[in-house]
Chains A and B, each alone.
Chain A
Amino acid sequence: EAGVTQFPSHSVIEKGQTVTLRCDPISGHDNLYWYRRVMGKEIKFLLHFVKESKQDESGMPNNRFLAERTGGTYSTLKVQPAELEDSGVYFCASSPLWRPTDTQYFGPGTRLTVL
């Protein structure tokens, strides 16, 4: 069974540019989560999809971040325009059910560097 995949693995962009990160969850997992770790800080929740609906986007930093999950399969996270403080590692996770006891399966992350 394929795990959670993320693309690209690394992205280096200049301030003001746009970047789109992609996450493919494990097939059949309705729940998809985005997390972010900026350097020196803990991993923090960004948002949660149940199928194609945004269930909780309380962790999104500001309106420069836009997440979508069309058709309830893969998800994209767009940053427009990127700022220096957006640099970090962006993780995606998926789980089959929406329960606190469920394991969330993580992808390898996308390392974003904004210059």
Chain B
Amino acid sequence: AQSVTQLDSHVSVSEGTPVLLRCNYSSSYSPSLFWYVQHPNKGLQLLLKYTSAATLVKGINGFEAEFKKSETSFHLTKPSAHMSDAAEYFCVVSSNAGGTSYGKLTFGQGTILTVHP
């Protein structure tokens, strides 16, 4: 079984300050992990993914995430927030277990990021 917990339902930052969105996961197998973003009235867009290569993963728009197995975490960061980063962010784990659930995504509850001018 696998699960994802996003530790903050809302995060508010000022433009130009760092962003930290926290995610912890649970997985019986070595996980594949993703961060997706959903802007208002848009579909989910992939920001970045971890697939057991480098533990520090760089994504689009200046975001990055670090896979920490010892802490079962995959936190998303960005050094300097921009107004256009305001959106909902989802931490996602993909099932590496065999069988019919192989590749099935399990989502966290989502974190709404607000960016103030």
- A residues sitting closer than 8 Å to B (CB atoms) are 3-4, 31, 33, 35, 41-45, 48, 55-56, 58, 91, 93, 95, 98-109
Contact = CB atoms under 8 A, between A and B. Distances in A.
12 contacts: A3-B43, A33-B105, A42-B107, A42-B110, A45-B106, A48-B100, A48-B104, A95-B103, A98-B103, A102-B103, A106-B43, A108-B42
A83 to B, nearest CB: 23
Greatest chain A CB density within 10 A among B46, B101, B108 is at B101
A35 B92 CA distance: 13
A34 to B, nearest CB: 11
A42 B5 CA distance: 10
B49 interface: yes
Interface of B: 32, 34, 36, 41-46, 49, 51, 90, 94-96, 100-110
Given A33-B104, A48-B100, A100-B96, 18 more contacts: A3-B43, A31-B103, A42-B108, A42-B110, A45-B105, A48-B104, A56-B100, A56-B104, A93-B105, A98-B102, A100-B32, A100-B94, A100-B95, A100-B103, A103-B34, A103-B46, A104-B105, A106-B45
Given A56-B100, A58-B101, A91 B43 contact: yes
B78 to A, nearest CB: 20
Contacts of B41: 108
A42 B111 CA distance: 11
B36 A106 contact: yes
